[in-house]
Structure 1
Amino acid sequence: MKYFLKIFLLLLVVTSTVQAQNYKSNIRQYKVPLALKAGKLIDSGNVISADALSPSVKKKGYGPVAIDLKSPKKKSLTPGELYNRVSESIVIVSPAGRCGEVNAKGNVCDKVHTYPASGYIIGSEGIIVTNYHVLNGYVTKYNKEARDVMVVMLKDGTIFPVTEVLLADQKNDLAIIKVDTNGTELPALPVATKDAEIGDPVYIVSHPKGYFYAFSSGMVTDKFSEITFGGYRNIMAISADYAAGSSGSAIIDQFGNVIGTVSYTKTLQHSDDETKTQMVLKATIPVSALTELINEGNK
């Protein structure tokens, strides 16, 4: 009897594990709802357009902002535990706009255009970190199709309009935006107080090329400085995979703390044959740049 009871309990555990690992539909769960819900926001008229938000998007010139950051955690988590905890705080950040083009028959296109990127929550009242180039991509004149609203979408499909730019830093490719949560508290990530070291493990949940909430891992592979807009900045290179659409997501340590922000990738090719890719450099902004921006601004 005890033997059959053990078998039954084992089967119950295995069945529960299988049921918990559902295969998501990226299109049905995220891509389509993102456009539909953004369209409803646009129709409500209670949004801030690219033209209206543009004056508050600057390369620099911001003072410090008081943000109640969560203290870093010290308990190491398994990769599965990390994913379950961190993914709730990773968001989809996207400009959106109705097409409005008129075809040869005089019909107006009603399609809602979206261009999803990533971001993460650091303040439960609706404070989100993403890349400067993601925010600037909304307000720039080159954005012709998605200028009605910038939205933030949670993993459960809840969507909020961006209402304010708190901080922006072109040099470090960082932006901190605020959404109107209507009083809903959001799950904020704890933020590390020091930069990671080469060899430290890293994890990332992001949205590469429309594969929403994909999980990858690796380690810190290099730390270097480079010259960019407005001077030098520090870069933390990692081996965890990400791609277009991952811009603005959080780099996480084994405790679930933010240790960096995705910025860009660079393909390194053979010097004798530019058609041969040898590796892809994955460059992220270390957490020290984020905390310095919050605490000191960038006048």
Structure 2
Amino acid sequence: MKYVLKIVLVLCAFTVAVQAQNYKSNIRHYKVPLAIKAGKLIDAGHVISADSLSPSFKNKGYAPVEVNLKSPKKKSLKPSELYNRVSESIVIVSPAGRCGEVDEKGKACDKVHTYPASGYIIDSKGIIVTNYHVANSYITKYNKDARDVMVVMLKDGTIFPVEAILSADQKNDLAILKIDTKGRELPVLPIATKDAEIGDPVFIVSHPKGYYYAFSSGMVTDKFSEINIGGYRNIMAISADFAAGSSGSAIIDQFGNVIGTVSYTKTLQHSDDATKTQMVLKATIPVSALTELIKKGN
């Protein structure tokens, strides 16, 4: 009996190990379901279009946001533990819309267009942080084919329509969105109480170019101010990799606390030969800009 029990325990442990090492299909698990589920929301009609959401979207002028922030964590985690904890709170944020373009035969295209970016949950009731430019990509007049709904998709594939823009800050490239979770409590990322320092370790879980829930690490490489629309803003440069699709994701410390938000990359080229890339500057918005937006508005 003991021998049989031992075999069963070994098999169970092996099964768990195998499950933990499964490889995801970015297309089958995320890209295709995102379009299909967004299409179902559009067809059901329980969505807020870009035109309807547009009046509430401003570059500034918002009041403080009522948010139940989670207290910062103090226990350092191994990278694998950090990924498992953080990734559940990272979301896909995407505008979506049925094409509707009519071909030469008079047939309308039924394809659902999506343009996925990233975001993260800061309140279990459904408050999401992303970039201003991500929200603006839905509202802007240049968005011609994805204006039916803006969606937030969780790691497990659950999808929600965005129902409100609670705050936005063009200068600091931040936006705070609201979804109706239908009573579901969402996993939340805690917010650090101070900005990181140069040399501190950083981690990112994001969706670079359709590689959903990719994990990257590095450190803070620089802290500087730059002129942007509306005046100066502070930037935290990091060495952890991210790319298009990562916009709006959280920069995390070794404890799992948010210390910044992905914003943009800038290719630095040789002054004598513009074709030679020497470095890619990866710019993020420090957490202090987010906490100020939440507590004071803009």
For the criterion TM > 0.5, the same-fold answer is: yes
CA–CA separation in structure 2 for the residues paired with 1:19 and 1:38: 29
Within a 5 Å distance, the mapping from 1:104-119 to structure 2 comes to: 104-119=104-119
Matched position secondary structure for 1:216: strand
Cα offset, 1:99, TM superposition? 0.3
Cα offset, 1:8, TM superposition? 9.8
CA–CA separation in structure 2 for the residues paired with 1:96 and 1:35: 8
* Stretches of 4+ aligned residues off by more than 6 angstroms: 5-12
Cα offset, 1:156, TM superposition? 0.2
Q: C-alpha deviations, 1:90-140, integer Å up to 9, x for none?
A: 000000000001111111100000000000000100000000000011000
Residues 175, 19 of structure 1: alpha-carbon distance in 2 compared, 3 angstrom cutoff: same
Q: Which residue of 2 aligns with 1:53?
A: 53
CA–CA separation in structure 2 for the residues paired with 1:181 and 1:103: 38
Cα offset, 1:12, TM superposition? 6.5
CA–CA separation in structure 2 for the residues paired with 1:10 and 1:226: 57
Cα offset, 1:14, TM superposition? 5.7
Matched position secondary structure for 2:262: strand
Q: Which residue of 1 aligns with 2:20?
A: 20
Q: C-alpha deviations, 1:163-194, integer Å up to 9, x for none?
A: 00101000000000000111111101000000
Cα offset, 1:11, TM superposition? 8.1
Q: Which residue of 2 aligns with 1:288?
A: 288
CA–CA separation in structure 2 for the residues paired with 1:183 and 1:8: 39
CA–CA separation in structure 2 for the residues paired with 1:6 and 1:216: 38
CA–CA separation in structure 2 for the residues paired with 1:141 and 1:169: 19
Supply the AA of the counterpart residue of 1:73. K
Q: Which residue of 2 aligns with 1:73?
A: 73
Matched position secondary structure for 2:246: coil
Within a 5 Å distance, the mapping from 1:119-134 to structure 2 comes to: 119-134=119-134
CA–CA separation in structure 1 for the residues paired with 2:64 and 2:15: 51
Q: Please state if 1:92 is matched with 2:92.
A: yes
Residues 15, 43 of structure 1: alpha-carbon distance in 2 compared, 3 angstrom cutoff: closer
Q: How many residues align?
A: 295
Q: Which residue of 1 aligns with 2:141?
A: 141
Q: Which residue of 1 aligns with 2:214?
A: 214
Matched position secondary structure for 1:147: coil
CA–CA separation in structure 2 for the residues paired with 1:195 and 1:185: 28
Matched position secondary structure for 2:288: helix
CA–CA separation in structure 2 for the residues paired with 1:253 and 1:186: 21
Q: C-alpha deviations, 1:200-245, integer Å up to 9, x for none?
A: 0000000000000000000000000000000000000000000000
Supply the AA of the counterpart residue of 2:72. P
Q: Which residue of 1 aligns with 2:150?
A: 150
CA–CA separation in structure 2 for the residues paired with 1:131 and 1:61: 17
Cα offset, 1:19, TM superposition? 2.6
CA–CA separation in structure 1 for the residues paired with 2:24 and 2:224: 38
CA–CA separation in structure 2 for the residues paired with 1:86 and 1:206: 10
Matched position secondary structure for 1:94: strand
Runs (5+) with no aligned partner, structure 2 = none
CA–CA separation in structure 2 for the residues paired with 1:15 and 1:161: 36
Within a 5 Å distance, the mapping from 1:1-16 to structure 2 comes to: 13=13, 16=16
CA–CA separation in structure 2 for the residues paired with 1:46 and 1:207: 27
Q: C-alpha deviations, 1:46-88, integer Å up to 9, x for none?
A: 1000000001110000011111100000000000000000000
CA–CA separation in structure 2 for the residues paired with 1:93 and 1:202: 22
Q: Which residue of 1 aligns with 2:228?
A: 228
CA–CA separation in structure 1 for the residues paired with 2:211 and 2:263: 18
RMSD between aligned alpha carbons? 1.6
Cα offset, 1:16, TM superposition? 3.2
CA–CA separation in structure 1 for the residues paired with 2:10 and 2:226: 54
User: Comparing 14-23 with 215-224, which one deviates more in the overlay?
Assistant: 14-23
CA–CA separation in structure 2 for the residues paired with 1:111 and 1:78: 42
Supply the AA of the counterpart residue of 2:57. V
